[in-house]
Amino acid sequence: MDVRATAKYLPISPQKMRLVCNEVRHMDADQALTVLQFMPQKGADFARKLVESAVANAEMNFELNRQDLYISELKADDGPRLKRVKAGARGRYKPRVKRFTHLTVVLSERDEE
């Protein structure tokens, strides 16, 4: 059974978030939480909170065992962009783009063999 959790409109660019996602994809859920806790990136905190939420949903709503869960899918998609302007020299303007991310995690249960 798959358990899905999403976090939308995170104030970080998807490119930076994907660097964090690539580190913990296909890890066990508890191992991924430990790795994310000690990563220095800003996106690691967003991902850790989302994985914790997905694990809690799996335990409470679907009665799955925490030790059998692993991250089968973790992706960072583009969210909306805020276009802002900063004043430049000699009356010009410098465009600024503030990017947002939609983060999705899917936990699956390992098959016992």
Going along the chain from its start, the domains and CATH numbers come out as 3-109 (3.90.470.10)
Measure CA 39 to chain center. 13
- Residues contacting residue 94 through CB under 8 Å, at least 6 positions apart: 85, 86, 87, 88
- Provide the pLDDT for residue 5: 96
All residue ranges of the chain with pLDDT < 50 are none
- Provide the pLDDT for residue 52: 96
- Provide the pLDDT for residue 1: 86
Backbone torsion region of residue 73, taken as left when φ is above 0, otherwise alpha when ψ lies between -120 and 50, otherwise beta: beta
- Provide the pLDDT for residue 36: 97
Residues 66, 20: contact at Cβ < 8 Å?
no
Question: What tokens were used for 107?
Answer: 């936990």
∠107-54-46 over CA atoms, to 5°? 110
Question: What tokens were used for 3?
Answer: 């358990």
Residues 86, 97: contact at Cβ < 8 Å?
no
